[in-house]
Amino acid sequence: MNKRKVFNDPVYGFINIPTDLIFDVIEHPYFQRLRRIRQMGLADFVYPGALHTRFHHALGAMHLMQNTLSSLRNKGQEISEDEFEATLIAILLHDIGHGPFSHALEYVLIPGVGHEHMSELIIRRLCKAFGGNLHMAYRIFTDQYERKFFHQLVSSQLDIDRLDYLKRDCFYTGVSEGEIGADRIIKMLDVRNDEIVVEEKGIYSIENFLNARRLMYWQVYLHKTSVSAEKMMISTIKRSMDLASQGIEVPASSCLSFFLKEQVSLQQLEQDNDYLKHYIALDDIDIWGAIKQWIHHPDKVLSELSCRLLERRLFRIKLSNEPIKDKEIEALAKLVLETLKISKRELKYFMVHGSISNAAYVSNGQKINIITKEGKIFDIAQASDLPNIKAMSKIVKKYYLCWPKDVNLRHNSIAYS
């Protein structure tokens, strides 16, 4: 069988599968599941074109990694064929642990367990399935491989993951402000002292990369309508979990029912293959299929939330640079209770508040290092002529308040957003 297939990608054009092992990894059911998980969660509620999947992203990241490793080889860096293949597999599988709707439902179905932990567990399982042929890829992914720069290419402040998702998400949303020069950045990368560095002449491409990332977060990833949709989805799932934990019948697929009825821990996932098996079976289809059934559920809260999501009757959302005052929250809570005729125990599903934050560049621990023509290495945030990067290294926090649009506001202290 010819396993040297070619994918036609709308962002990069033709993407080649370089080895038989990589073809087999892509063909595996665990990886094919990524076709059914949206890259950007519920962002299509705002940007209708944002329908691409984690499958798209993983292939794109593998393509960029091929270009990166080839460029490093051309600069004299010794990279064996095994290291080349293992690094491609590591980036290919870096998001395999994502659950339904990617980040939107992270920590909801399995409290306290992020997709990174799940990726590690799934890659470990794939290692066994492939007879140990993925062992080097696993070591690179978990930063256990002796040549550390390979892991930096997979996960760092300037990794191949970010290069692809910025280009891809810009393409599918149509938000041109987030466009980056990924090809130029890749050509500017090199290795010194087993760490990835950027040649000095690429410094402005990195500044553009960081600025684009900041813009994409506020304009796309943390767009207020996306935040509203995600909070509604979380409320819907939490309500279904609360009902299921009380023994109330909540129709869903077998794998989703498993997580609705039982609070699963990381330890259980690590020790019991059945727990991981149910997780690997989960995707976006399970969630939408359940929500379509829940609109007919006798529980009015679950039914109402499900109807609003399916019909895109999203919560109104207010964003503020300052913490929202308790008086404002209390006044709105009273209005929600009166309008929707719900109990105080049910209020948490229809009124949500908290905070969101973003920093384009956090240099603590991981840095983007620039190498000068003289061979000196410094953190990009310390570049005296780039004040924008210093500003982008500060964490920006915004506060949100969500509530149903059909709640009429009678208090001047509560402003529409």
Q: Is the pLDDT of residue 410 over 60?
A: no
User: Quick one: pLDDT at residue 316?
Assistant: 95
Q: Which tens digit of pLDDT belongs to each residue from 294-306?
A: 999 999 999 999 9
Asked whether residue 217 is assigned to any structural domain, the reply reads: no
Asked if residue 156 and residue 244 are part of one domain, the reply reads no
Domain boundary residue, one of 159, 190, 212: 212
Whole-number percent of the chain with pLDDT over 70: 94
In the structure encoding, which two tokens stand for residue 106, read together? 């992270």
Alpha helix ranges (H) inside 111-221: 115-129, 135-141, 149-154, 160-173, 182-188, 203-216
Q: Is the pLDDT of residue 8 over 80?
A: yes
Specify the CATH number for the domain of residue 125. 1.10.3210.10
Q: Which tens digit of pLDDT belongs to each residue from 111-148?
A: 989 999 999 999 999 999 999 899 999 999 999 999 99
Asked if residue 137 and residue 13 are part of one domain, the reply reads yes
Number of domains in the chain: 3
User: Quick one: pLDDT at residue 107?
Assistant: 92
φ and ψ of 319, to 5 deg:
-110, 140
Q: Which tens digit of pLDDT belongs to each residue from 91-108?
A: 999 999 999 999 999 999
DSSP 361-396: ---SS---EEE-TTS-EEEGGG-TT-HHHHHHTSPE
Reported as type and span, the H/E element at residue 279 is helix 273-280
* pLDDT band at residue 20 using 50, 70 and 90 as cut-offs: very high
Asked whether residue 163 is assigned to any structural domain, the reply reads: yes
Asked if residue 141 and residue 107 are part of one domain, the reply reads yes
* pLDDT band at residue 416 using 50, 70 and 90 as cut-offs: very low
User: Quick one: pLDDT at residue 36?
Assistant: 97
* pLDDT band at residue 289 using 50, 70 and 90 as cut-offs: very high
Asked if residue 344 and residue 252 are part of one domain, the reply reads no
Asked whether residue 364 is assigned to any structural domain, the reply reads: no
Per the model's pLDDT, the better-predicted residue between 389 and 23 turns out to be: 23
Asked if residue 195 and residue 113 are part of one domain, the reply reads yes
* pLDDT band at residue 202 using 50, 70 and 90 as cut-offs: very high
pTM over 0.85: yes
Asked whether residue 390 is assigned to any structural domain, the reply reads: no
Alpha helix ranges (H) inside 33-129: 54-74, 81-92, 115-129
Contact 123, 101 (CB under 8 A): no
CA distance linking residue 392 with residue 211, whole number of Å: 7
Q: Which range among 181-195, 265-279, 381-395 has the greatest average pLDDT?
A: 181-195
Domain boundary residue, one of 309, 328, 349: 309
**What is the dihedral angle through the alpha carbons of 150, 151, 154, 160, rounded to the nearest 10 degrees?**
-50
User: Quick one: pLDDT at residue 417?
Assistant: 42
Asked if residue 254 and residue 122 are part of one domain, the reply reads no
Asked whether residue 380 is assigned to any structural domain, the reply reads: no
Asked whether residue 381 is assigned to any structural domain, the reply reads: no
User: Quick one: pLDDT at residue 4?
Assistant: 84
* pLDDT band at residue 411 using 50, 70 and 90 as cut-offs: very low
Alpha helix ranges (H) inside 202-272: 203-216, 224-245, 254-261, 266-271
Whole-number percent of the chain with pLDDT over 90: 80
Asked if residue 97 and residue 59 are part of one domain, the reply reads yes
Residue in the structure block whose two tokens are 């299921």: 244
CA distance linking residue 233 with residue 238, whole number of Å: 9
Asked if residue 182 and residue 39 are part of one domain, the reply reads yes
Asked if residue 348 and residue 255 are part of one domain, the reply reads no
Asked whether residue 305 is assigned to any structural domain, the reply reads: yes
Asked if residue 156 and residue 298 are part of one domain, the reply reads no
Asked if residue 190 and residue 88 are part of one domain, the reply reads yes
Domain of residue 231 covers 223-309
Contact 93, 119 (CB under 8 A): yes
Specify the CATH number for the domain of residue 415. 1.20.1250.30
* pLDDT band at residue 409 using 50, 70 and 90 as cut-offs: low
Asked whether residue 374 is assigned to any structural domain, the reply reads: no
> What one-letter code names the amino acid at 126?
L
Domain boundary residue, one of 212, 238, 262: 212
Asked if residue 207 and residue 71 are part of one domain, the reply reads yes
Q: Which tens digit of pLDDT belongs to each residue from 364-390?
A: 567 899 999 999 998 887 765 666 766
Pick from 197-201, 207-211, 236-240, 400-404: least confident = 207-211
Per the model's pLDDT, the better-predicted residue between 266 and 197 turns out to be: 197
Contact 324, 373 (CB under 8 A): no
User: Quick one: pLDDT at residue 382?
Assistant: 76
Q: What is the mean pLDDT of the chain?
A: 92
38 to each of 42, 52, 381, how far by Cα in Å?
Answer: 8, 6, 33
DSSP bridge pairs for 396: 358
CA 209 to chain centroid, in Å, comes to 18
> What one-letter code names the amino acid at 304?
E
Per the model's pLDDT, the better-predicted residue between 322 and 382 turns out to be: 322
* pLDDT band at residue 412 using 50, 70 and 90 as cut-offs: very low
